[in-house]
């Protein structure tokens, strides 16, 4: 008799998440040839006002034939459909599995006609975590994703995935098909039969290049010449294939794959009538550009490109919302090799050095705070204005830099540099993908969005940053000293630890990985608690206590020395005068 067990949806870490988890996320992608050490990396900031930052964990497991898995929407916690479970699933730490395969995402919505959620089906979060449990590398992940989108309806909106293994990095963009969108006359003419699921395109990032996506579809035209193949292995093989020929994806020459009906579906809906399929643009068809798609989304990718490659200013007008300006490329070649520390720092951005710099205008307050409380737009005297949406934002649940290093055994070679809260103020703590024990400070169930926990990193980091926001230009410097010291120490310690455990295996390796990652998390919590107390003492009541040789100054009698009381910045003082000068001017 077949088993009818249902696998609990809590494996997806979904049941506690309500509202839109991925309402505004950021991913950057780095290929082997673009990094100093030859690793691949992807970054991910999971930004949401209702997302609690914790490190999800799914144990490797074996299941009897007939076991069913209950899919639950990652955003809302609602039950969707049941699907057959596979015989064996891999261990997954956060967004990286035991084979050093990592997946990140950003949601882009897409066409209004395709934005509605389908009752049932598979959501984008489940696609990520189910794929990580079933695939060993990027190409297997694409086949797995394609299979889900072929066999089941797609529940969510448009989505961009970052997929990395130790050798390759891919961008995979999809959008769900919706019943009622196909026009009968066009379908008949095209001999097109509608099926539920999704349409998609995946492209391998060329080695030596970097890519990014941030809530806006990025793949425009893509190569489609490889629609027919010889069955002889490698003979007549092109660099692209459709989903009808996915058995060829494991050939290294294949660099672009797409669903068989990605163009035909658009034609059948009346959204594309171009003479040639080759002119078809996925992004322009399924997620047409808007001002917010440029200024609030692609602008974040521009900011990263601008920091690593020369000549990017030519795209500034586009990033600032001019859809007629030269479009940002899908990928660029950086001027220099990027290491893991720089990848972390690229996630720390408020558009510094651009006209959108959030530290400069009066909205930054008297102490240059680069954050703007929501909503993002407002009206004054009949005109609409926006607050910038940068990579670093206050409503981040968690973020990571996933580093995949092919010269080490996979459980050692995969590191999820994991942090909670605002990317600018977080600490990226090394979590090896081979761990089986999640540190308490990151553990699921240790607090939630409305339950404070003294031992949860999410609450500690939020306590510190929400205080830092009040006198940002001064406090952030003290925070960065501790942040930099911790991350630099982690990077050095990881290198030493790698060499010590690279020849271990089995439980001995697992024990070492658990111990190392756990100790780094404990060190982070200890240092951040110390920072929390230090900042309170130093900056209480708007004063700044004076220090020397790491100690607060006292008078000869042991009293606290009188604190510094620096003025507001001059631009802010002028604004006060313009607003209230007649009343407060000294007579």
pLDDT surpassing 60 at residue 4: no
Residue where a domain stops, chosen among 386, 406, 428: 386
* 196 has pLDDT over 80: yes
Q: What is the mean pLDDT of residues 251-278?
A: 95
In which band, very low, low, confident or very high, does the pLDDT at 20 lie, cut at 50, 70 and 90?
A: very low
Distance from CA of residue 395 to its chain's centroid? 13
Query: How far, in Å, CA of 157 to CA of 111, rounded?
Result: 9
Going by their DSSP bridges, the two strands 61-62 and 331-332 should be labelled as unpaired
The residue among 29, 22, 27 whose CA lies nearest residue 47 is: 22
Average pLDDT over residues 143-171: 97
pLDDT of residue 115: 87
Cα angle 264-157-10, degrees, rounded to a multiple of 5:
130
pLDDT at 135 over 90: yes
Q: Is residue 16 part of a domain?
A: yes
Q: What is the DSSP string of 465-508?
A: HHHHGGGHHHHHHHHHHHHHHHHHHHHHHHHHHHHHHTT--HHH
Buried/exposed code over 17-29 (b: 16+ C-beta within 10 A; e: otherwise): bbebbbbbbbbbb
Q: Is the pLDDT confidence value at 15 over 80?
A: no
Q: Is 221 helix (H, G, I), strand (E, B) or coil?
A: strand
Residue 386, φ and ψ in degrees, nearest 5: -125, 150
Q: pLDDT over 70 for what percent of the chain?
A: 93
In a domain, 482, yes or no: no
Cis check for the bond before 375: say yes or no (omega within 30 of 0): yes
| Residue where the block lists tokens 């020395």 | 561
Q: What is the pLDDT of residue 243?
A: 67
- DSSP per-residue string spanning 25-74: -EEEEE-GGGBSSS-EEEEEEEE-TT----B-EE--EE--TT-EEEEE-T
Evaluate if residue 416 carries a pLDDT over 60: yes
Cα distance between residue 248 and residue 504, in whole Å: 35
Q: Does residue 91 lie in a domain region?
A: yes
In a domain, 507, yes or no: no
User: Would you say the C-alpha torsion 165, 43, 14, 411 has a positive or negative sign?
Assistant: positive
Q: Which of 386, 412, 439 is at the close of a domain?
A: 386
Retrieve residue 106's tokens.
């950003």
User: Would you say residue 171 lies in a domain?
Assistant: yes
How far, in Å, CA of 292 to CA of 283, rounded? 15
424 lies in a domain?
no
pLDDT (tens digit, 9 = 90+) per residue, 40-91? Answer: 999 999 999 999 999 999 999 999 999 999 999 998 899 999 999 999 999 9
Partner residues linked to 27 by β-bridges = 44, 213
pLDDT of residue 3 exceeding 50 = no
- At 53-67, the pLDDT tens digits run 999 999 999 999 999
Average pLDDT over residues 463-467: 98
Q: How many domains is the chain built from? A: 2
Average pLDDT over residues 257-278: 96
Of 324, 346, 325, 323, residue with least CA distance to 334: 346
**What pLDDT, on a 0 to 100 scale, did the predictor assign at position 119?**
83
185 part of a folded domain = yes
pLDDT digits (tens, 9 = 90+) for 328-364: 999 999 999 999 999 999 999 999 999 999 999 999 9
Bridge partner list, 62:
88
237 pLDDT higher than 60: no
Residue 129, domain extent: 6-386
Evaluate whether residue 416 is within a structural domain. no
Residue 448: phi and psi, rounded to 5, are -155, -170
Interval 462-478 mean pLDDT: 98
Is the dihedral angle over the CA atoms 327, 331, 337, 341 positive or is it negative?
A: positive
Q: Indicate the residue among 354, 386, 418 that finishes a domain.
A: 386
What is the length of the chain? 587
């Amino acid at each position: 008799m077949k088993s009818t067990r249902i696998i609990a949806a809590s494996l997806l870490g979904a049941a506690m998440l309500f509202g839109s988890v991925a309402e505004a996320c950021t991913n950057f992608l780095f290929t082997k040839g673009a990094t100093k050490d030859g690793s691949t990396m992807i970054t991910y900031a999971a930004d949401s006002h209702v997302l609690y930052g914790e490190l999800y964990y799914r144990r490797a497991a074996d299941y009897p034939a007939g076991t069913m898995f209950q899919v639950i929407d990652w955003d809302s916690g609602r039950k969707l459909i049941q699907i057959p479970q596979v015989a064996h699933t891999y261990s997954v730490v956060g967004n990286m599995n035991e084979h050093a395969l990592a997946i990140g995402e950003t949601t882009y919505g897409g066409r209004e006609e395709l934005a509605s959620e389908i009752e049932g089906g598979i959501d984008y979060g489940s696609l990520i975590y189910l794929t990580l449990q079933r695939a060993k590398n990027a190409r297997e992940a694409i086949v797995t994703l394609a299979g889900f989108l072929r066999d089941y309806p797609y529940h969510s909106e448009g989505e961009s995935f970052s997929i990395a293994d130790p050798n390759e990095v891919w961008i995979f963009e999809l959008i769900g098909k919706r019943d009622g969108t196909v026009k009968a006359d066009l379908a008949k003419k095209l001999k097109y039969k509608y099926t539920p699921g999704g349409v998609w395109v995946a492209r391998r990032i060329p080695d030596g290049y970097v890519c990014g996506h941030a809530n806006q579809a990025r793949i425009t035209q893509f190569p489609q010449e490889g629609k027919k193949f010889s069955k002889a292995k490698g003979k007549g093989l092109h660099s692209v294939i459709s989903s009808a020929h996915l058995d060829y994806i494991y050939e290294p020459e294949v660099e672009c794959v797409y669903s068989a009906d990605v163009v035909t579906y658009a034609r059948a809906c009346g959204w594309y009538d171009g003479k040639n399929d080759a002119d078809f643009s996925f992004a322009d068809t399924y997620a047409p550009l808007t001002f917010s798609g440029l200024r609030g989304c692609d602008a974040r990718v521009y900011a990263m490109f601008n920091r690593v490659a020369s000549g990017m200013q030519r795209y500034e007008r586009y990033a600032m919302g001019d859809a007629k300006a030269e479009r940002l490329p899908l990928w660029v070649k950086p001027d220099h090799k990027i290491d893991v520390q720089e990848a972390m720092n690229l996630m720390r951005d408020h558009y510094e050095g651009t006209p959108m710099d959030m530290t400069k205008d009066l909205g930054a307050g008297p102490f240059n705070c680069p954050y703007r409380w929501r909503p993002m737009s407002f009206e004054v005297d009949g005109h609409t204005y926006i607050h910038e949406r940068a990579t670093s934002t206050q409503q981040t649940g968690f973020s990571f830099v996933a580093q995949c290093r092919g010269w080490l055994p996979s459980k050692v070679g995969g590191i999820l540099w994991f942090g909670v809260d605002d990317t600018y103020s977080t600490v990226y703590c090394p979590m090896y993908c081979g761990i089986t024990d999640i540190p308490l400070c990151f553990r699921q169930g240790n607090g939630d969005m409305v339950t404070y926990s003294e031992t949860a990193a999410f609450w500690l980091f939020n306590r510190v940053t929400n205080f830092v926001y009040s006198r940002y230009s001064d406090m952030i410097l003290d925070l960065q000293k501790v942040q930099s010291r911790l991350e630099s120490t982690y990077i050095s310690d990881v290198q030493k630890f790698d060499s010590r455990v690279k020849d271990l295996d089995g439980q001995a390796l697992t024990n070492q990985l658990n111990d190392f990652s756990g100790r780094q998390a404990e060190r982070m919590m200890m240092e951040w608690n110390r920072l929390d107390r230090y900042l309170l003492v130093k900056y209480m009541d708007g004063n700044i206590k004076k220090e020397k040789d790491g100690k607060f100054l006292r008078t000869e009698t042991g009293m606290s020395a009188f604190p510094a009381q620096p003025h507001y910045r001059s631009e802010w003082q002028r604004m006060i005068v313009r607003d209230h000068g007649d009343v407060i001017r000294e007579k």
